């Protein structure tokens, strides 16, 4: 069972139809007579159980793409389908996970109540709620901190709470927007292990946005590398068929790092384009 999740190739053979499909997507922002084409010609097919990383320079529209996948913003053209059904808004099948846990969590609710929130608004029967809360708080190792408030948690704990809160509503897809970008390096490594363990255990499909090449190599089944905006698109998709946990000193990993960096190098060298960015990333 686990082997299936390890290898993206197997998954795609088994799942005849991709779980999340983006076809010919573009996004244009207009303000007055100015218009800015943020994304252009994006095609992605993500299989069930896959961990897909969207990697790109800051400001390239990764987060915009993720917001469109989440249903927060409509695409200007093209389509997004999840389970074959068009995405028109936030849906039960997808949960977004934010970098800024301070803003994303409910600071007036304690750990347990934060997880309970989704169960409450989804009208999960009362008698099942405690069981579900227990299960996921234990999974992320927060079951001894139930009464704490988000302001009393460390950055890593806040992100673990966000994971528990998202998993509790049992979505198929986790959309993660640079989730560990604000954490210190050690906590970040720790969160990578937490995420991988949970992913392997639950079989969720994960779309993970990052600008960190190393992070994407450590985590992903496939990495979609995006070009810088305007008209950002996915220039290349790397498949990583390597066992986890991955060793950063492995020559194959180093080679992959160099390949991806070479691909991103022209983007990194175009800072003037970033100045033109009007879109929040």
Partner 1 sequence: MSQVSGRLTGQSSVPKQAKANSRASGRSSSSRFRPILLSAASLLIAVLLWQLLSTFVFNPFLIPPPLAVIRAAIPMLLSGEIFADVSISMVRVLVGFLTGSLAGIVLGVLLGRVRLLHDLLDPILELLRYLSPTAMIPIAVIWFGIGEMSKYFLIFWGTFFIVVVNTTAGVWRAPMTRQRAAECLGASRLAIFALVAIPSAVPYIVTGMRVAMASSFMSIIPAEILAADSGIGYLLQKSALLLQTNRIFVALLTICILGFAFDRLFRFFVDRVLTRYMFYIAIA
Would you tell me which residues interact with partner 1 (CB under 8 A)? Answer: 70, 72, 90, 92, 94-96, 98, 100, 102-110, 112, 117-118, 121-122, 130, 146-152, 165-166, 169
**Of 184 and 241, which has the nearer Cβ to partner 1?**
184
Q: Write down the least CB distance from residue 251 to partner 1, Å.
A: 40
User: How near is the Cβ of 46 to partner 1 at its closest, in Å?
Assistant: 18
- What is the closest distance, in whole angstroms, from the C-beta atom of residue 244 to partner 1 in the complex? 27
Give the shortest CB-99-to-partner 1 separation in angstroms.
Answer: 9
| Complex with partner 1: residue 39 or 66, whichever CB lies closer | 66
Establish how many alpha carbons lie within 13 A of residue 278's alpha carbon, considering only the half-sphere containing its beta carbon.
10
61 with 29: CB under 8 angstroms? no
Q: Name the phi and psi angles at 186, rounded to 5.
A: -70, -45
250-274 exposure pattern, b = at least 16 Cβ within 10 A, e = fewer: eeebeebeeebeebbeebeeeeeee
Least distance from C-beta 67 to partner 1, angstroms? 8
Rounded distance, CA 55 to CA 163, Å? 21
Residue whose CB is less far from partner 1, 63 or 210: 63
3-state secondary structure at position 79: strand
From the CB of 157, what's the least distance to partner 1, in Å?
A: 13
**Rg of the chain taking only CA atoms, in angstroms:** 19
Is the Cβ of residue 92 or residue 258 nearer to partner 1 in the bound state?
92
What are the residues facing 80 on neighbouring strands?
22
By C-beta, is 108 or 241 nearer to partner 1?
108
Q: What is the dihedral of CA 119, 123, 124, 130, to 10 degrees?
A: 50
**Distance in Å, CB of 98 to partner 1, minimum:** 5
Secondary structure class of 42 (helix, strand, coil): strand
Give whichever of 206 and 260 is closer to partner 1, judged by the CB atom. Answer: 206
Question: Which lies closer to partner 1 via its Cβ, residue 3 or residue 121?
Answer: 121
DSSP of 121-144: HTT--HHHHHHHHHHHHHHTT-TT
For residue 60, the SS3 value is: coil
């Amino acid at each position: 069972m686990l082997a299936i999740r390890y290898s993206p190739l197997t998954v795609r053979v088994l799942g005849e139809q991709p779980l999340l499909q983006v076809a010919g997507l573009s996004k244009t922002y207009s303000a007055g007579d100015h218009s800015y084409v943020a994304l252009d010609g994006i095609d992605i097919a993500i299989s069930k159980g896959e961990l897909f990383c969207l990697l790109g320079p800051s400001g390239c529209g990764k987060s915009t793409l993720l917001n469109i996948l989440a249903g927060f913003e409509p695409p200007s053209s093209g389509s997004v389908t999840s389970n074959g059904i068009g995405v028109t808004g936030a849906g039960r099948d997808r949960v977004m996970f934010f970098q800024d846990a301070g803003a994303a969590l409910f600071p007036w609710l304690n750990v347990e109540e934060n997880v309970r929130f989704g169960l409450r608004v989804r009208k999960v029967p009362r008698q099942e709620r405690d069981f579900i809360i227990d299960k996921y708080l234990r999974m992320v190792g927060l079951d001894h901190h139930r009464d704490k408030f988000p302001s009393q948690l460390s950055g890593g704990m806040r992100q673990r709470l966000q994971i528990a809160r998202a998993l509790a509503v049992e979505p198929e897809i986790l959309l993660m927007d640079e989730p560990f970008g604000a954490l210190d390096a050690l906590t970040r490594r720790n969160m990578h292990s937490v995420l991988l363990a949970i992913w392997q255990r639950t079989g969720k499909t994960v779309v993970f946005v990052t600008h960190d090449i190393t992070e994407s190599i450590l985590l992903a089944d496939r990495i979609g590398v995006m070009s810088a905006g305007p008209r950002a698109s996915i220039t290349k998709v790397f498949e990583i068929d390597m066992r986890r946990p991955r060793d950063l000193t492995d020559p194959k990993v180093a080679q992959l790092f160099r390949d991806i960096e070479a691909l991103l190098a022209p983007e990194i060298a175009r800072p003037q384009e970033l100045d033109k960015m009007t879109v929040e990333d």
